[in-house]
Amino acid sequence: MRIRVWGTVGPTDDGASGRYVVSVLRRLRFRATLRLLGLTRFLDYTNDSRNGAQVIAAVWGAAWPSASNFIARLTCRFFIPGDPHGANACEFCDPAIDRQVNDAMALQPRDPAAGHALWARLDRELTDRAVWLPLATPKSTDIISRRVRNYQSNPALGVLVDQLWVR
């Protein structure tokens, strides 16, 4: 089977994730090719359902550390057919999943443990259905001197350099 993988190339991305996905598909005996686009063109093309992008190799980072940051974007309300600015490029829409997402959103503030369990169950179900395939989970470590004081780190932004001071 022929598969076209879409990836990005630009100042912060060298297309490595796309090349990796193509190499894996080829080892699985698919006839995979890679098409690299600049970020804006890539997003417009792959988010537009009229283009029928099969495989999208892209970085998707969390704006804040929450399951809802990823999973809630895979609901029907984020899939707008033919819209290059939609946020659900995989075109996934399942009303049953939408109901579970709504339940998790409502449950999270009242019962965090139960909310986390529901988000985890949704993550497993979406992964089992191959809605998305996470290739990596970025993690960083900050090493600081004993002389540094007021170290603060934001989950999305990293070290808040303007808050540091040195003794």
Give tens-digit pLDDT for 134-159: 776 666 778 889 999 999 988 667 88
Query: Which of 59, 76, 106 lies at the terminal end of a domain, its last residue?
Result: 59
Looking at the structure, tell me whether residues 27 and 45 fall in a common domain. yes
pLDDT tier at 57 (50, 70, 90 boundaries)?
Answer: confident
> Which domain range does residue 108 map to?
62-136
Segment of 42-46, 71-75, 111-115, 158-162 carrying the highest mean pLDDT: 111-115
How many Cβ atoms from other residues are within 10 Å of residue 88's Cβ?
19
> Helix, strand, coil proportions of the chain in percent (round to 5)?
45, 15, 40
3-state secondary structure of 8: strand
List, for residues 89-122, the tens digit of each pLDDT value. Answer: 888 999 999 999 999 999 999 999 999 999 999 9
- Angle between helices 112-128 and 95-110 in degrees, nearest 10: 160
User: 4 with 54, same domain?
Assistant: yes
Euclidean distance between the first and final Cα of the chain, in Å? 62
Please state whether the predicted TM-score (pTM) of the whole model is above 0.75: no
